[in-house]
Amino acid sequence: MSFRWTAQREEAAALVAAGRLSVSAIAEQVGVGHATVFRWKSHPEFEARVAATVADVRAATTATGIVDRQKTASMP
């Protein structure tokens, strides 16, 4: 069964990927019950979106860190 993406689910996926809020806090922020967020988290498409978001943030952070280190190393 395909996962139907909505703005609410997109926001929840981003919040899960950020890893700063509890499931209950995410549920409250997006306006659903915590059981709904748990259910979404168990769906393969939702899991994949969260994993992709985490990977994108890590890659961007790593790239930025490498650039910053290169700039610092080249300074007189």
Residue pLDDT tens, the chain, 76 long: 789 999 999 999 999 999 999 999 999 999 999 999 999 999 999 999 999 999 988 888 786 665 555 555 555 5
Distances (CA, A) of 11 to 16, 62, 74: 9, 24, 40
The pLDDT value recorded for residue 40 is 97
Cα–Cα distance, 2 to 14 (Å, whole number): 19
Question: Taking a C-beta distance cutoff of 8 angstroms, is the pair 45, 2 a contact?
Answer: yes
Amino acid at 34: H
The pLDDT value recorded for residue 72 is 55
The pLDDT value recorded for residue 60 is 81
**If DSSP codes are grouped into helix, strand and coil, which group holds residue 29?**
helix
The pLDDT value recorded for residue 57 is 86
